[in-house]
Amino acid sequence: MEHQDVEAGLLLLGELEYLARVTWGEDYPVDRQALSNASKYSHLMREVMRWPIWLTLLIICLDLAILLAIWASLGNQATIVTAIILTASTIYFYYVTSLTLELTTERLKAGRANIEVKYLGKIEVLSKEDMLFHRGAGINPQAYLALRFWIKRGLKIEIADPRDPTPFWLISSKNPEKFLERLTP
Lowest mean pLDDT among 20-24, 117-121, 175-179: 20-24
In this structure, the answer to whether residues 56 and 86 fall within a common structural domain is: yes
Residue 102 placed within a domain: no
In this structure, the answer to whether residues 176 and 130 fall within a common structural domain is: yes
DSSP letter for 51, please.
-
Structural domain span for residue 22: 2-41
Question: Is residue 40 within 8 Å of residue 63, measured between CB atoms?
Answer: no
Decide if pLDDT at 120 tops 80: yes
Whole-model pTM over 0.75:
no
In this structure, the answer to whether residues 139 and 82 fall within a common structural domain is: no
Type and span of the H or E element at 124: strand 120-126
Residue 103 placed within a domain: no
Residue 104 placed within a domain: no
Tally helices (H) and strands (E) across the chain: 6, 8
In this structure, the answer to whether residues 117 and 160 fall within a common structural domain is: yes
The tens digit of pLDDT for each residue in 121-180 reads 999 999 999 999 998 898 889 999 999 999 999 999 999 988 989 999 999 999 999 888
Residue 14 placed within a domain: yes
In this structure, the answer to whether residues 138 and 76 fall within a common structural domain is: no
In this structure, the answer to whether residues 35 and 57 fall within a common structural domain is: no
Residue 7 placed within a domain: yes
Give me the pLDDT at residue 5, please.
40
Please report, rounded to a whole number, the percentage of residues in the chain having pLDDT higher than 90: 62
pLDDT category of residue 101 using cuts at 50, 70 and 90: very high
Number of folded domains in the chain? 3
User: What SS3 state is found at 141?
Assistant: coil
Q: How far apart are the first and last CA of the chain?
A: 13
